Amino acid sequence: MLPEIDIIGQEKLAESSIAIIGLGGLGSPSSIYLAASGIGVLNLFDDDVVELSNLQRQIIFDSSDIGERKNLAAKKKLLNLNENIVCNSFSERIGEANIDDCLENSEYVIDCSDNFETRKIINEYCFRTKKDLISGACIGWKGQIFNFKFSSSESPCYECLFEGLDEEDLSCRESSIFSPLAGLIGTFLAIETIKNILKLNYSEENFLEINSLTNEIKKRKMVINSFCKICSNK
Ligand SMILES: [Zn+2]
């Protein structure tokens, strides 16, 4: 019923295909909202198993899922929520060798992975194939949301912002996270993805930084690094 969406917009959502890489604290809320929004095809990727310690933030799972494969447990929940979507789920770990095959059938990519190495591989793939990359991260009380609109603009890329950082500098895997913040960032990933599909994205090359301890929300400018080894020819 929102005039910006209407029936035409709802049809666009139904014709879209999205890959969600990582079904943890960020992938849980984003996949739930995207399934509920009627996205046509969701392709889920996670090679992990549900553990008790996941449940405070990975809200797509409950205690009956402990020990189950995340990709299968999530698929079941999403199809229960909306039986009219197509949901494919894979337990492959995305890497350089398989990313082209894994993401071939997805027009949009949401990076909810928990390590820097995977993020860089996804960034390179999305830049090369001109697919929008919506990416989130959170550590402690702080989180960030990035929207790299490779399909429609000369967007900076993830490497432009995080060149030179490696796994030890920025990893959600081993760090503590304020769990409702993961919900907020994951929900924002769904917001950005839906707006990209509907071409409703008004925010230009910015990323959003949220501090959930102080409630500061900042829009920060993203600029192309002219020496970036991924997106710059120099
Ligand atoms: Zn770049």
pLDDT in tens, 136-145: 999 999 999 9
Cβ partners under 8 Å of residue 134, min gap 6 = 108, 109, 110, 111, 145, 146, 147, 148, 189, 192, 193, 196
147 CA from centroid of ligand 1 (Å) = 13
137 CA from centroid of ligand 1 (Å) = 18
Look at residue 126 and tell me whether its pLDDT is greater than 90: yes
Biggest CA–CA distance in the chain, Å, is 53
Residue-range domain boundaries for the chain: 6-221
124 CA from centroid of ligand 1 (Å) = 9
- Mean pLDDT, residues 123-129: 97
Q: How many Cβ atoms are within 10 Å of 216's Cβ, its own excluded?
A: 10
pLDDT digits (tens, 9 = 90+) for 149-193: 999 878 999 999 887 665 555 555 557 899 999 999 999 999 999
Instruction: Mark the residues whose beta carbon lies below 5 A from ion ligand 1.
Output: 157, 159-160, 228, 230-231
79 CA from centroid of ligand 1 (Å) = 37
110 CA from centroid of ligand 1 (Å) = 18
The whole-model pTM stands at 0.94
CATH architecture of structural domain 6-221: 3-Layer(aba) Sandwich (3.40)
pLDDT > 90 in the chain, percent: 85
